[in-house]
A and B are shown apart, each in its own frame.
Chain A
């Protein structure tokens, strides 16, 4: 049931992605509305509290989205379950690269993409749509609540909910059985809810 639903959704997003790549502004907006807030949350969580001050999450989001446009052809061949899972993988790599770079350089690794670059028009459109991704008060509270959770709890939520990995993949990453991961997610979601209600 759920699998086919995801398939339909992912098919639709693939179409949107192609349309956006081809220049449809509306498709781009819809796409961002769908993925960007979660992608931003993922990037911020992956950066952690310390690095968030040094690396600009929006820059990473922007770079990830631009990369996704450049590699759009690879989406169909990839084994990603959904567009979000595919984007999450790109974003994770981007975060890893930047963090490595930052650690090596020990300096501000902000990489501004200049406005008039070769792919200028696309960059501009991505940038302008980025404004829709508002990291509002609620998202901030959710992030704080997530960070207050034990690591295993946070990880299972990030992997399953934000990165949309399959249960098999989640199980592999966490080194537990499928069922154990499901139970873990249930407990994690319950404690996340408690943490959020305490934070009001």
Chain B
């Protein structure tokens, strides 16, 4: 039996015929007897013809919506008093001609209008008004000389600019040049807005660049009508969503939108929204998610992309409120500073992309392709990605050797600085100011200078590590400087001076740390990096402690009045929390994250310190001493245990509340609290065993508890449970050995080793079984 041809064979026959004979075979005839292949074949043939067209003609797919028609030959019109030289353009309203003023001898542009009485009257009053407001004083806005509404056709005579349309020139410009041009345009638009004039038809073809790349904006205000209106005037691709909706007001932010679309197009050479028909285009402007410019043009700088997307937010409230803010953000990028724009698109794009992945994870779990803990791990990773929301492009979290080296370097630098400080102040092994200047001062100044330079040259990661090292060296250097020069030294008896033995006053300590805190905060705001804002948060805590030296910090430490230390630190929890909340609202998320985490760490510290010696319950006016057995030596033992248990619950509740009702930036802090809570709840048992009160059997119970928690963590799939179990088990092992005084018993050690080996063997056995189950 002769084998029947496949679709591929039929298609090859078709292509062969076309290549060899230049004729297209009829697909119907081609698949005679195999009609079921016709659809596939037709699809392939259509694709083939498209490819062949593309390769042979190189025609662009999808002509722009406002593409001009092919120019027909036409006689040039005459304007009274002018000599017409040539036509230089045609637009929706009419043609533009280059003409020479016979009297003044200058070259101007003449823009003809369709004879339409109402529109002409509108222009007349607009031009009158614009001239009275000195709109055309701005050299970035094309000057209008004269309007002749009664001429046939009506004509506007304006400044003639020898230049090129932005849309044509942009792809050949560097991104810095493109940003500078857009900055000028935004500033000119802002100036017009201040005069109360909106453009409403901003588009790249309305921006001309002269040979020195200075922009000139054409057609200002010529879209006509009163400032509150302007629906459906202008070029569809650049119209803001509100311009399609007569019920919505139009204001300066409509021009901001067009500036955003222009920046988008200038960045990647494509318009954000396209459509084959006007309806499709409008639908896309209203609802479609534009591609990111970096998806179109991988070289486009992310900050500029963020600015463009923020300016063209669908909701005017999400855009820059004025063109000035847009210009300022552009200037920030040009000057190498971080921009403030965080378009909502980033978050929603990430959300959209992560959700299908999460569904896949559920699927895999259902199909038993992965284990529950693997699913939990994946989900956690995705959650982390979502919480990072808009930083995902800016900050890569991939660990590289360069990063490892940089941060290790900063660590060693600070460690060395501390050692040097110790040698100088604690052991008097260094004298004079010269050597500290060489070993601390020079690296400090050098690092800051290098960081400044590197930051400008886009070596951001290196610059931040250098700044970090510099910031942490600063207080050490300042302290030595203060000591050697005697600046802010304490006169009189050294009572209450925290570092009296080291010859340092409280004031010196406070000032040194305050200056470092300020520098860190300033650098963090400049570079927008979590590393520096974490350093600032850390230094802020140190500064608070330095201030507390004036309130008797030394006495509290000596007398073990942890509760007083805790109570004095408590306001800082509120300060950091509120600052974090305020900064998040002001879009400074990189600063908000570490502050929330810092507040959470302090909260844990304060509450745990307060719990010691039963003080927390004491402050609450409760005491459980009455329930305590008489032979217990520590009268507040029960109170301490109760407070510690309460703390664990408080941490868990705080974490839950923050996760449930908190803002995005609170999440890392919430996770930290949630991770700590199981350990905090178990902690009292460890403390009880540690004091050795009550029956000696408690240490064995503690060991069993630690093991149980570790094993039960499988059920809850909480890593924090597992870690708490491991830590408590090791602590219990220590207490069991200590209470029984088995430190000198090799037999006990052998038992523990044997238990460990047995568990390792069991682990292997379980792994084998799991693998067999997975394989089968």
Contact = CB atoms under 8 A, between A and B. Distances in A.
Given A26-B71, A131-B167, A131-B170, A136 B48 contact: no
Contacts of A142: 51, 54-55
B270 A134 contact: yes
Given A127-B169, A136-B62, A116 B211 contact: yes
Interface residues of B, number: 38
Interface in A176-200: 182-183, 185-187, 189-190, 192-194, 196-197
B171 A131 contact: yes
Contact of A136 (B16, B60, B170): B60
A37 B43 contact: no
Contact of A196 (B51, B60, B213): B51
Interface stretch (A14-22, A28-36, A69-77): A28-36
A138 B61 contact: yes
Contacts of B20: 182, 186
B19 A185 contact: yes
B190 to A, nearest CB: 26
Contacts of B213: 115
A64 interface: no
A189 B58 contact: no
Contacts, number: 105
B19 A189 contact: yes
Contacts of A130: 168, 171-172
B56 A161 contact: yes
A128 B51 contact: no
Contact of B52 (A2, A35, A124, A189): A189
A13 interface: no
A168 B269 CA distance: 39
A62 B44 CA distance: 35
Contacts of A38: 55, 58
Given A128-B169, A192-B51, A136 B12 contact: no
Interface string A91-112: 0000000000000000000001
A132 B60 contact: yes
A161 B55 contact: yes
B168 A131 contact: yes
A60 interface: no
Interface string B153-195: 0000000000011011111101000000000000000000000
B272 to A, nearest CB: 14
A194 B8 contact: yes
Nearest to A183: B16
Interface in B1-40: 8, 11-12, 15-16, 18-20, 22
Contacts of A8: none
A170 interface: no
A34 B59 CA distance: 7
Secondary structure type dominating chain A contacts:
helix
Given A131-B269, A142-B51, A186-B20, A193 B165 contact: no
Interface string A148-192: 000000000100011000000000000000000011011101101
Interface in A28-68: 33-38, 41, 58, 62
B129 interface: no
B146 interface: no
Nearest to A129: B168
B11 A193 contact: yes
Nearest to B45: A193
B47 interface: yes
Contacts of B44: 193-194, 197
Contacts of A128: 164-165, 168-169, 172
Nearest to A53: B298
Nearest to B55: A161
Nearest to A164: B56
A49 to B, nearest CB: 13
B367 to A, nearest CB: 27
Interface string B284-315: 00000000000000000000000000000000
Listed residue (A26, A38, A120, A162) with the most chain B CB atoms within 10 angstroms of its CB: A38
Contacts of A115: 211, 213
Nearest to A35: B58
A154 to B, nearest CB: 12
A157 B55 contact: yes
Contacts of A190: 8, 11-12, 15-16, 48
B9 to A, nearest CB: 10
Contact of A186 (B15, B211, B270): B15
With most chain B CB atoms within 10 A of its CB, the pick from A2, A36, A116, A132 is A132
A33 B226 CA distance: 40
B54 A138 contact: yes
A37 B51 contact: no
Nearest to A137: B296
A116 B212 CA distance: 9
Contacts of A187: 12, 15-16
Contacts of B11: 190, 193-194
Name the residue in B57, B168, B269 with the highest tally of chain A Cβ atoms < 10 Å from its Cβ: B168
B460 to A, nearest CB: 20
Contacts of B165: 128
B681 to A, nearest CB: 54
Contacts of A182: 19-20
A58 B171 CA distance: 9
A139 B55 CA distance: 10
A199 to B, nearest CB: 10
B490 to A, nearest CB: 59
B54 A189 contact: no
Contacts of A134: 60, 269-270
A41 B56 CA distance: 12
A139 B60 CA distance: 9
Contacts of A161: 52, 55-56
**B19, B52, B62 — most chain A CB neighbours (10 Å):** B19
A36 B172 CA distance: 14
Contacts of A193: 11, 15, 44, 47-48, 51
A39 to B, nearest CB: 8
A189 B172 contact: no
A131 B172 contact: yes
Given A115-B211, A130-B172, A134-B269, A189 B71 contact: no
A34 B174 CA distance: 26
Contacts of B211: 115-116, 120, 124
Nearest to A37: B58
A36 to B, nearest CB: 7
A139 B54 contact: yes
A138 B270 CA distance: 13
A162 B170 CA distance: 27
B161 to A, nearest CB: 14
Interface string B46-78: 011001101111111110000000010000000
Interface centre among A132, A136, A182, A186 (most CB of B within 10 A): A186
Contacts of A133: 171
Contact of A37 (B60, B164, B168, B270): B60
Question: Which of A36, A58, A139, A193 neighbours the largest number of chain B CB atoms within 10 Å of its CB?
Answer: A193
Contacts of A26: 71
Given A37-B58, A196-B47, 14 more contacts: A34-B57, A34-B58, A37-B59, A128-B164, A128-B169, A128-B172, A131-B171, A132-B60, A132-B168, A135-B269, A157-B55, A161-B56, A189-B52, A190-B8
Question: Which 9 pairs show the lowest CB-CB distances between chains A and B?
Answer: A127-B172, A38-B58, A128-B168, A37-B58, A186-B16, A161-B55, A186-B19, A128-B164, A131-B168
25 contacts: A37-B59, A58-B171, A62-B172, A112-B174, A116-B211, A120-B211, A124-B169, A127-B172, A128-B165, A128-B169, A131-B169, A132-B168, A134-B270, A139-B54, A161-B56, A182-B19, A182-B20, A189-B48, A189-B51, A190-B8, A190-B15, A190-B16, A193-B11, A193-B48, A194-B44
Interface of A: 2, 26, 33-38, 41, 58, 62, 112, 115-116, 120, 124, 127-136, 138-139, 142, 157, 161-162, 182-183, 185-187, 189-190, 192-194, 196-197
